[in-house]
Amino acid sequence: MDIDRADPAELAALRAAFAVDDGGESALGWAAVRAFEAEHGVVLPEPYRTFVAEISDGSFQGPPEYGLVGLAELPSDWGGDGAARDLSKPFPLTEQWLWEEDDGPYEDPEAAMERVLDHGSVVLGTDGCAMNWHLVVTGPQRGRIWLVTDVGAMPFGAESGHAASAGWVAHWAAGKEWFDTA
């Protein structure tokens, strides 16, 4: 997984997966992507960076269930206005944490949960019921996809090589269930 350079094969797969969208009309363009990055103090990982610049900024067709939200947007079921989000602060997790079951290694689990929601990731979209997919943009998990829900957070597909955004889309395009990572 190279999150700093766009792989032409991955970009071709993304273009094919989103071919029925708007033909690139919603793509932000490079100036807008660089402005977003400057405003938030991040550099988006590839191939997502090229995807929003050249292919599409959001999609009605998914993934996830209710489609991709635009780069600067949050899903309709997001609690609050997103003002507390700080993409430049590192995403705090490196392994699954089910906060419904335990407090993890955190002295203040509530504050830790807030950091999971608000630090170091762009929200890609929702499967509904507060099940949101995040692309980590800052920290050790940069370039990885995480499912963050009301009961915990877990990385997607790390064991199968589908952890990055192009693999996540390929998994969806192949019609696989989210937890079928084989």
Reply yes or no on whether the pLDDT at 149 is more than 70.
yes
pLDDT at 175: 67
Least confident of 19-23, 68-72, 74-78, 148-152: 19-23
* Confidence band, pLDDT 50/70/90 cuts, at residue 138: very high
Average pLDDT over residues 113-132: 92
Q: Where are the domains of the chain?
A: 8-73+83-173
Confidence at 77, pLDDT banded by 50, 70, 90: confident
Q: How many CB atoms lie within 10 A of CB 72?
A: 15
Q: How many CB atoms lie within 10 A of CB 120?
A: 25
E-strand stretches of the chain: 121-126, 132-136, 145-148, 153-155
> Mind listing the pLDDT tens digit for each residue in 1-10?
567 788 898 8
Q: What is the mean pLDDT of the chain?
A: 86
Q: Is the pLDDT of residue 160 over 50?
A: no
Contacts 24+ apart (CB under 8 A), 71-77: 71/28, 71/33, 71/36, 71/44, 71/122, 72/36, 73/123, 74/123, 75/123, 75/125, 75/126, 75/132, 76/126, 77/126, 77/128, 77/129, 77/130, 77/132
Sequence letter at residue 57: D
What's the confidence (pLDDT) of residue 96?
Answer: 92
